[in-house]
Amino acid sequence: MIEIRHQDMDTTSSTQAAYNRLYVERGILLHDSFYLWLISLLKPQPGRLLLDISCGQGRLVTLAKRQGLQAVGTDFAEDAVRIGAAESPRAGWMVSNGELLPMSSGSVDYVTHIGSLEHYQNPEAGMSEITRVLKPEGTACILLPNSYGLLGNIKYVMQTGQVFDDGQPLQRYNTPAGWREMLMHNGLLPFKTLKYEREWPLTRADLLWYLTHPAKIVRLFTMGLIPLNLANCLVYLCQRH
Mean pLDDT for the stretch of residues 107-136: 97
More confident residue, 4 or 202: 202
**Contact, 133 vs 111, CB < 8 A?**
yes
| Residue 169, pLDDT score | 84
Q: Which of 137, 114, 139, 138 is nearest to 126 (CA)?
A: 114
- Confidence band, pLDDT 50/70/90 cuts, at residue 73: very high
Indicate if the pLDDT at residue 167 is higher than 90: no
Mean pLDDT for the stretch of residues 46-66: 97
pLDDT tens, position by position, 196-232? 999 999 999 999 999 999 999 998 999 999 999 999 9
Mean pLDDT for the stretch of residues 116-132: 96
| Residue 101, pLDDT score | 96
| Residue 235, pLDDT score | 98
More confident residue, 10 or 232: 232
Mean pLDDT for the stretch of residues 107-130: 96
Indicate if the pLDDT at residue 109 is higher than 80: yes
| Residue 23, pLDDT score | 82
Which percentage of the chain shows pLDDT scores above 90?
85
Indicate if the pLDDT at residue 98 is higher than 80: yes
pTM of the model: 0.94
Q: The CATH number of 2-240 is which of 3.20.20.110, 3.40.50.150, 1.10.12.10, 3.40.50.460?
A: 3.40.50.150
Indicate if the pLDDT at residue 11 is higher than 90: no
Indicate if the pLDDT at residue 168 is higher than 80: yes
- Confidence band, pLDDT 50/70/90 cuts, at residue 21: confident
Mean pLDDT for the stretch of residues 54-63: 97
Which percentage of the chain shows pLDDT scores above 70?
100
- Confidence band, pLDDT 50/70/90 cuts, at residue 133: very high
